[in-house]
Amino acid sequence: MRGLFRWSGKWWPGVIPLVVLWGFAAWTSTVPLENDLAGRSSAALKGSVLDKTSITVDGRDVALRANAFSEAGRRDAVAAVDAVPGVRLVNDETRLVPEAKPFVWSVERDVVRVTLGGNAPLPALKGKLVEATRSALQGGEVADQMSLARGAPPHFEDAALLLIGQIGRLKDGKFTISDGEVSLTGMARELGGREAIAAALAKLPDGFKVASNEVKAPPYIFQAYKDPVAVTVTLSGNVPDENIHAVVVGSSSRKFFSEKVVDNLKNSVGAPANFVNAVVPALGALSRLSTGTLVVSDRDIKISGDALYDAAAGQIRTGLAKDVPQGWQVKADITVKPAAAPVDPTVCQQLFADLLGKARIRFETGRSDLDRDSTGLLDRLVEIAMRCPAANVEIAGHTDAEGDAAANQALSEKRAQAVVDYLVKAGLPAERFTAVGYGSAQPVASNDTGDGRAQNRRIEFLVR
């Protein structure tokens, strides 16, 4: 042992190659060692929930920079790296993710894409929200502009997912959560979308309330087009429900007695109030035009086309505005069809007979007030009467045999007079027309059947 100690004094020359060896070892092993430690440290952080993690290894010292979502998570991450074999020191540069006050999150839809903005509480939830948006859109572009922050209200995830589920109903707009308050703006994609979104909001989790809902519905459109060439009236757009649908189509069939009614309407919620009370008079105005278009957009009624004569154009312009319910706007762009060439009185008689063969002038039951559904027919009769200015015309009123004969006689006279009044109001000279009532004295069909009685209740135009 003493010899070993004595000889150890001569070991020093070996230090020279040892130092050389050390130099080589340091030269070649430093970078691989650092890479190895960086890899192991990253692997150790796999299970930790961190944001913006960066690991820098200098020798055996690891600098850990990361944003953690809780104090415990932050400590655990540092401990996990510290426990990696080979790591000498951990320079803890971690910090907590900033807390957002108020915690704001938004989902915004425009023409091209859906943008998720504001804050998300955790990276996993951020990914989940993006994924949910993608599946809600089915193929649309999703832009993720969310940053991470602490301070989300409880049940934030449920609320955000609920709003994402509704984003498909928007054409454009934005849903925002600010702490527990939800605000909505924008335009619904379809009629009823606004109502559906409002209904879905009822399922918002506890602690959330709707601060403002300014989602607008797209305009509620109803259109009718009278085509004199195809002899059709095409109804398109929306009606509120099946009952009103039937009312509109039924009313159109009566008003447009010689045209085929093409029904392209569909039932949609979201109609403005008094829809039917506005649309039926507007259809009445359209029925008085030779060709025309009616567009009802929300509470705006736009009617354009050619009236059959001057007075009709004036009546439509002023009359429709009075007929529609309060709050509805009417814009009538009515021109007058050029007058047709005059014809011989016999031709006039033929035209009257043809027209009255297609439809009858209707009155209110038991009274002499003209039914509004007959205005279109009356205008056509006026137009014919204007073509033979020299002809005098007897307007003959007839009733069925139901009820008292004297009353029927009086009713037939009054009804004939009502028609004459209409013609005079249209600008025709009163002296050309004679109102005559025949009561039930000249039936054209049996008074025993309902159908027969209906045929007997009639007005005839007889050129004298």
Partner 1 sequence: MAYLVAFHWGWLAGAFAIGLAMGWVAVVHRAPGVSRPVMLLLSALAAILVGAAVACLIPGRAGYWLELLLLLFVPYLVGCAIGTWLRALVVVRSMRTKSAA
Which has the closest alpha carbon to 393: 364, 366, 356?
356
390 interacts with partner 1 by CB under 8 A: no
Least distance to partner 1 from the beta carbon of 53, Å? 21
The token duo for 44 is: 């150790």
Task: Spell out where 169-327 has E strands.
Answer: 170-178, 181-188, 209-216, 221-227, 232-239, 260-267, 289-297, 300-307
Among the listed residues 35, 52, 54, 60, the single contact to partner 1 using CB under 8 A:
60
Say which residues have a Cβ less than 8 Å from residue 70's Cβ, sequence separation at least 6.
Answer: 96, 150
Contact region with partner 1 (CB under 8 A), list: 81-89, 203-211, 229-237, 265-273:
81-89
> From residue 370, how far is each of 183, 389, 414, 459 by CA, in Å?
53, 24, 11, 11
**Nearer of residues 89 and 353 to partner 1, judged by Cβ:** 89
Among the listed residues 2, 9, 202, 341, the single contact to partner 1 using CB under 8 A:
9
29 interacts with partner 1 by CB under 8 A: yes
11 interacts with partner 1 by CB under 8 A: yes
**β-strand partners of 223:** 236, 295
The token duo for 330 is: 């009417």
The token duo for 73 is: 């998570």
Distance CA 183, CA 212 (A): 5
Among the listed residues 2, 10, 46, 322, the single contact to partner 1 using CB under 8 A:
10
85 interacts with partner 1 by CB under 8 A: yes
The token duo for 107 is: 């989902």
**Nearer of residues 18 and 390 to partner 1, judged by Cβ:** 18
Neighbours of 410 (CB within 10 A): 16
Asked if residues 106 and 133 have their Cβ atoms less than 8 Å apart, the reply is no
Least distance to partner 1 from the beta carbon of 2, Å? 11
DSSP 3-state of 373: helix
154 interacts with partner 1 by CB under 8 A: no
Contact region with partner 1 (CB under 8 A), list: 85-93, 309-317, 325-333, 405-413:
85-93
Least distance to partner 1 from the beta carbon of 60, Å? 5
338 interacts with partner 1 by CB under 8 A: no
Contact region with partner 1 (CB under 8 A), list: 3-11, 94-102, 269-277, 413-421:
3-11
2 interacts with partner 1 by CB under 8 A: no
Among the listed residues 3, 47, 139, 357, the single contact to partner 1 using CB under 8 A:
3
Q: How many residues bind partner 1 (CB under 8 A)?
A: 32
Q: Are strands 221-227 and 289-297 parallel, antiparallel or unpaired?
A: antiparallel
Least distance to partner 1 from the beta carbon of 57, Å? 9
DSSP state of 401: S
Neighbours of 214 (CB within 10 A): 12
33 interacts with partner 1 by CB under 8 A: yes
192-231 footprint of partner 1 as x/- string (CB under 8 A): ----------------------------------------
Least distance to partner 1 from the beta carbon of 6, Å? 7
Distance of CA 305 to the CA centre of its chain: 28
Least distance to partner 1 from the beta carbon of 84, Å? 9
**Nearer of residues 30 and 274 to partner 1, judged by Cβ:** 30
**Nearer of residues 34 and 110 to partner 1, judged by Cβ:** 34
Among the listed residues 86, 207, 250, 366, the single contact to partner 1 using CB under 8 A:
86
Distance CA 80, CA 180 (A): 36
Least distance to partner 1 from the beta carbon of 66, Å? 20
The token duo for 28 is: 């070649």
89 interacts with partner 1 by CB under 8 A: yes
The token duo for 86 is: 């080979």
36 interacts with partner 1 by CB under 8 A: yes
Kindly give the residue spans of alpha helices, DSSP state H, lying in 103-175: 123-137, 156-166
Burial grade of 379 (CB within 10 A; 0-12, 13-18, 19 or more): buried
- Residues near partner 1 (CB under 8 A): 3-4, 6-15, 17-19, 21-22, 24-26, 29-30, 33, 36, 58-61, 85-86, 88-89
